[in-house]
Amino acid sequence: MNLRLTTCALTALLLSACASGPRIDTSYRSENQDSRVLFLVLHYTVGNFESALKTLTTGGKVSSHYLVRDDPVVTYRLVEESQRAWHAGPSYWRGHANLNPSSIGIEIVNPGRQVAADGTVSYVPFSQKQIDAVLALSKDIVLRHQIRPERILGHSDIQPQTKQDPGPMFPWKQFADAGLIAWPDAELVAARLPGYQAALPDVAWFQDQLARHGFGVPRHGELDAMTRNVIAAFQMKYRPAKYDGEPDAETAALLEVVNLPEGMKLSSTDPRGPAAQKPYTSRW
């Protein structure tokens, strides 16, 4: 009887210890730390709200931290920021692979890429109310995690072979105007354009510049489908009026400028004064 009581008491003690865990003193806190979150990645859903919500919350191995609905515009948190969401896939950006553990993902309800019966490809615009919600959410995330401008990306930046989102209709320039990302200096682009119109660099140059910017891109000097996909991803962001994947003069000028130390400008968001732009150099 005593043995049974002793066994029960020990079992209860062990269960209690497992339930409460060890006693931790939190009196001290190191100042030598920062957020694990390095990247913010933007997506569109390729579907309506109901289908997106089902995909992102059930057993399909796909999720995102946030979902921004289109009508009515509502922002939903589906995964806590402290947890890893499964949104980035087999991704790469500037030496960083598999971005799921180090990123926050925002899915924006939008049909995305549309292919007509005749093969014509088009994209559906985002409403300004929805973009305003995404901007507000992004500013909050960036402020809390101190995410740098060069690490705010689209899914097509980090997975250009299979993804086009958030697509050419996504207003990246509004993100630049809001001070969230840097933007190519238009005067520098215009100054370099005539030189590239006179003599276009070879494919190896384009591949090198794309890799310097951050993309995972072939480096064999051939204009294959993979290289075109990466060029198109770059064009969708910085020249959305034409994203055919062709290595043309304007794309060359943009690529040179985004890789120049003084080539990018970051807008000031100081509410106390007029909007201003200052040179911005990426820090990795």
Residues 252-270 pLDDT 10s: 999 999 999 999 999 986 5
Of 198-202, 217-221, 268-272, minimum mean pLDDT range: 268-272
pLDDT band at 5 (very low <50, low <70, confident <90, very high): low
- Does CATH place domain 39-177 in 3.60.70.12? no
Catalytic sites, residue numbers: 107
Each residue of 39-56: pLDDT tens digit?
A: 999 999 999 999 999 999
Q: Within the chain, which residue ranges are assigned CATH 1.10.101.10?
A: 183-280
**pLDDT of 274 strictly over 80:** no
Cβ–Cβ under 8 Å, residues 216 and 162: no
Cβ–Cβ under 8 Å, residues 84 and 100: yes
- Cα-Cα-Cα-Cα dihedral sign, residues 142, 130, 91, 203: negative
Please state the separation of Cα 51 from the chain's center in Å: 22
Cβ–Cβ under 8 Å, residues 218 and 207: yes
Using DSSP, state whether 266 is helix, strand or coil.
Answer: strand
Q: Please name the CATH architecture into which domain 183-280 falls.
A: Orthogonal Bundle (1.10)
pLDDT band at 276 (very low <50, low <70, confident <90, very high): confident
pLDDT band at 60 (very low <50, low <70, confident <90, very high): confident
The secondary element (H helix, E strand) that includes residue 108 is: strand 103-108
pLDDT band at 21 (very low <50, low <70, confident <90, very high): confident
Q: What are the phi and psi torsion angles at 92 (to 5°)?
A: -155, 140
Nearest to 150 by CA among 217, 214, 92: 214
pLDDT value of position 53:
98
Task: Please tell me the distance from the alpha carbon of residue 209 to that of residue 211, in angstroms, as a whole number.
Answer: 5
Q: Within the chain, which residue ranges are assigned CATH 3.40.80.10?
A: 39-177
Higher pLDDT, 10 or 27: 27
- In this structure, which amino acid lies at residue 154? G
Measure CA of the first residue to CA of the last residue in the chain; give whole Å.
67
**pLDDT of 124 strictly over 90:** yes
pLDDT value of position 6:
54
pLDDT band at 78 (very low <50, low <70, confident <90, very high): very high
Task: Please tell me the distance from the alpha carbon of residue 73 to that of residue 68, in angstroms, as a whole number.
Answer: 7
Cβ–Cβ under 8 Å, residues 109 and 126: no
Question: Stretch 73-80: mean pLDDT, rounded?
Answer: 99
